[in-house]
Structure 1
Amino acid sequence: MSAMELEQIFPFLLVSTVVIAAPGPNVLVIVSTTLLSGRRRGLQTVIGTTLAMVIQLAIAALGTTLFLATLSQGLIWLKWFGVAYLLFLGSNSLYAFYTRKKVERSSASASMQRGFWVSLTNPKTILFFSAFLPQFASTSSAYLPQIATLSACFLLLAVTMDSCYVLLAAKLKWLLASRDIDRISNGVSGTLFLGAGGIRATTNRV
């Protein structure tokens, strides 16, 4: 990797760090799963969100403006599927909160699927990647290898930072060590899931 390429990578990593650190649906599902089901399930949720981002980055790498235009209707359907899924998660969590129902710990596959679908059904991520990645690619070099390198760096950074959220949530769960931690987590995460679904639903654009 040349010095010129390194000069492109460092600003990309800096901006990516800010983007990934900002709380969103991915962080919400990772933290809530960790609080309810423990560190291992939280890390498995990270696997799910990461697999979804691999697909989104692949679409973005191939996504010219014309290509994205042909997908516009599909992105709208994806948006509403995501809204429904967030509302479903929120309703389940609030039901458990109000009924004081003991929530079964998520299985490994359920944790990964939850992370996967929450991440994949956010069409804004695809559009963000499509606009974000090309800004750091040099016109003097082959496009796809640069995008592949940037995507790999983004994924590595995302896995690292999302795993840090898991460790922090697991530490919080251990410190509180309260019988009500599950109920509190259900109440907070349910409200936030419903809020995220409502915001996504009322956004005019994809």
Structure 2
Amino acid sequence: MISAESLAIFILACLALCATPGPNVALIVGTSLKHGRKAGMLSALGVNVGIILQLAAVAAGLSWLVDLFARHFDVIRYLGAAYLIWLAVLQWRGAGKMGDKPMPTRRASFGRGFAVAFANPKTLLFHAAFLPQFVTNTADPGPQIALLAAIFALIALVGDMIWAVVADRARAALAGRFTRIADRVSAGILAGGALVLLAAGRR
């Protein structure tokens, strides 16, 4: 059984990780700034479904998937960065234009989040290295890793939803003549997420 002290340290580490902006947060914040809370939360949901699948792969001991991501590390992150840059360009070109283009569908908002979650190979590799550090039963680590994965997934989901809500409130504060500024800030955040992916190394 995981000790209370180890569990507390793990939760604090998860909180710190989820509070650190990265490509996932960039997408959620950028989407909320441009399209509002609902689209941002759907993107957050897509991101976290992707994260849950990654955590499930680690908990199930699917080392072949981890190896696959490791072998194609650069290809995956370059594709992810290109996708975020494409979204940033769309945001920039549509800055201040509310009626020209329709809001993204629920499926599109969710799909963007899911795609970006898998566009960062470092996330899966990190989970595979991070979770086992808190396992005390090395003979049968599966149940403890599953518990840690579930805790991380819950914290990540709540954290990302908070990012979406905060970004939506900023959008409301910048409504009206500042809409173009909000849209371009959104584009800049997405581009920043792409830069984070491009700068990501294996360590």
Shorter-chain TM-score tier: 0.7 to 0.9
User: Percent identity between the aligned chains?
Assistant: 32
What is the CA distance between 1:46 and its match in structure 2? 1.3
Counterpart secondary structure, 2:176: coil
The yes-or-no answer on 1:194 pairing with 2:191 is yes
Q: Provide the rounded CA distance (Å) in 1 between the counterparts of 2:71 and 2:115.
A: 19
Question: Once the 2 structures are TM-superposed, how far is the Cα of residue 119 of structure 1 from its aligned partner?
Answer: 1.4
**Structure 1 residues 140 and 78, CA gap change in structure 2 (3 angstroms):** closer
Match runs of 1:1-206 below 5 Å? 4-61=2-59, 62=61, 64=63, 68-69=66-67, 71-97=69-95, 100-102=96-98, 103-139=101-137, 142-181=140-179, 183-203=180-200, 205=202
Superposition deviation, residue 185 in structure 1: 2.7
Give the residue type in structure 1 aligned to 2:190.
F
Aligned length: 200
Normalising by the residue count of structure 2, what TM-score does the alignment of the two structures yield? Answer: 0.86
Structure 1, unaligned stretches of length 5 or more? none
Offset of residue 32 of structure 1: 1.7
| C-alpha distance after superposition, 1:35-58 (max 9, x if no partner) | 222222221111100111012212
List gaps (5 residues or longer) in structure 2. Answer: none
Aligned counterparts of 2:26 and 2:192: Cα–Cα separation in 1 = 11
Per-residue CA shift, 1:132-165, capped at 9, x if unaligned? 1111111356201111100100111111111111
Structure 1 stretch displaced more, 152-161 or 183-192: 183-192
Give the conservation status (yes or no) of the 8 Å contact 1:75–1:123. yes
Cα distance change on mapping 1:196 and 1:161 into 2, 3 Å: closer
Instruction: After TM superposition, give the deviation of residue 126 of structure 1 in Å.
Output: 0.8
Q: Is the 8 A contact 2:29 2:189 kept in 1?
A: no
In structure 1, how many angstroms separate the alpha carbons of the residues matched to 2:171 and 2:69? 42
Over the residues paired in the alignment, what is the CA RMSD in angstroms? 2.3
Q: Give the partner amino acid of 2:9.
A: P
- Structure 1 length-normalised TM: 0.85
Q: Which runs of 4+ in 1 moved over 4 A?
A: 202-206
C-alpha contact (below 8 Å) 1:32/1:185 kept by paired residues:
no
d(CA) in 1 for partners of 2:118, 2:42: 16
| Equivalent position amino acid for 1:106 in 2 | P
Sort the Cα spacing of 1:6 and 1:104 in 2 relative to 1 into closer, same or farther, 3 A.
Answer: same
Cα distance in 2 between the residues matched to 1:156 and 1:67: 23
Q: Contact 2:31–2:186 (CA<8 Å) still a contact in 1?
A: no
Deviations 1:95-117 (A, max 9, x none): 223xx543432221111011111
